[in-house]
Amino acid sequence: MDTRKVVVTGLGAVSPLGLSVGDLWEGLVSGTSGLGPITSFDTSGFDSRIAGEVKDFDPAAFMTPKSAKRMDRFCQLGVAAAVQAVQDAGLDMDREDPSRVGVYVGSGVGGLSTIQEQHRILLERGPGRISPFLVPMMIIDLLPGQIAMLLGCKGPNLSVVTACASGNHSLGEAMWAIRNGQADVMIAGGAEASITSLGVAGFCAMKALSTRNDEPEKASRPFERNRDGFVIGEGAGILVLEELEHARRRGARIYAELAGYGLSADAYHLTAPAPGGEGAIASMKMALKDARVSPEEVDYINAHGTSTELNDKLETAAIKSVFGDHASRLAVSSTKSMTGHLLGAAGGLEAVIGVSAANHQILPPTINYEEPDPECDLDYVPNQARPAGIDVILSNAFGFGGHNATLLFRKNIF
């Protein structure tokens, strides 16, 4: 069944750079930061007071007000991106066999704002005032469930929860569902909305977040010598994946092939990556092998690139290990410098970005790259986007618990 090629026919995104894929791409190529002071709660007393918030989001543009009230924000963002992706793909569910259309959308944290708010109500007003929608609003699997109910998708449906690798794992497993003949179309990616006082306080307690509070737009600086932690972001990135011949029959526009998927476990530490980037190496090698692509064929890597001390130097080491001499000729950028780190939505959003880069033949930059780090010595496309011939793209995502996932996209599939 591995002769069934899987292609991308639709893209959807809601991000700190805007409410559409077009807004996202325009922000990226102009080197715009979507980061700023947190506005959704009082950050007094917090070590980190900055984030990549989604601004001016109106869920009623994508769903009924009644449906929106029964969804946590992470779910609203995911549904919005899914609606965009399906519209972009020109997918008409009235013409599809609903049992052949599935949804795999993950999240790292899920309905944290609902949990936090309902806990407050429990303490202040007692258990009798808890919402009957608490459980269905907080659990992650309701996101693909809501998408399926809205669109009428009756095929494979599940959530992947692997922290910051959730989006990549969702897309990779969706690819396999199509390859294995379980579906012809899959809606896949990730969504996250964890910019709450509890969520930010938790990451602050881990000393994981940047404290460059006086310069929020410059706080995310992947691979740069003075990086001091990641900046939390929110949003969603969803792709429509489709079996190639199915896409051709309905005359769909094809953005790229999702040709390879690799995954591994560090089996090392709760939050720190394995020494030498061992897990990342295995993940990238597996994706290359799955796609039957040599390292020398890769043009661009959208890096996990979190702007943390360990991740950036170990991801650099892993890339050098996998690609050898070709590593110095590769373009590697971290768009988290502009969007922040969307946790479980990062892989979905960055897959949208990688596919967009190939279609526009433009490399998005790593902004805030001012002082090189001797341990991070690759071409990170510093500060400015640039035109380039892009065919093969890798997209990395690594999560707490030692979860690693790599996707490989190919633009020229014919």
Residue 209 sits at φ, ψ, to 5 deg, of -100, 150
The residue from 75, 164, 204, 376 that is catalytic is 164
Buried b (16+ CB within 10 A) or exposed e, 386-395: eeeebbbbbb
Instruction: Let me know if 91 is exposed, middle or buried by CB neighbors in 10 A (0-12, 13-18, 19+).
Output: buried
* Cα–Cα distance measured from residue 411 to residue 175, given in angstroms and rounded to the nearest whole number: 16
* Cα–Cα distance measured from residue 333 to residue 364, given in angstroms and rounded to the nearest whole number: 7
The residue from 246, 341, 376, 403 that is catalytic is 341
Residue 279 sits at φ, ψ, to 5 deg, of -65, -40
Q: Could you confirm whether 304 is annotated as catalytic?
A: yes
The residue from 153, 304, 376, 403 that is catalytic is 304
If you search the block for the tokens 């932690």, which residue do you land on? 229
If you search the block for the tokens 């390859």, which residue do you land on? 179
| Tally of CB atoms within 10 A around 249 | 10
Rounded (10°) CA dihedral 262, 265, 266, 269: 140
Q: Could you confirm whether 341 is annotated as catalytic?
A: yes
Q: Which two tokens stand for residue 58?
A: 């109106």
* Cα–Cα distance measured from residue 338 to residue 32, given in angstroms and rounded to the nearest whole number: 6
* Cα–Cα distance measured from residue 293 to residue 360, given in angstroms and rounded to the nearest whole number: 22
Which positions are annotated as active-site residues? 164, 304, 341
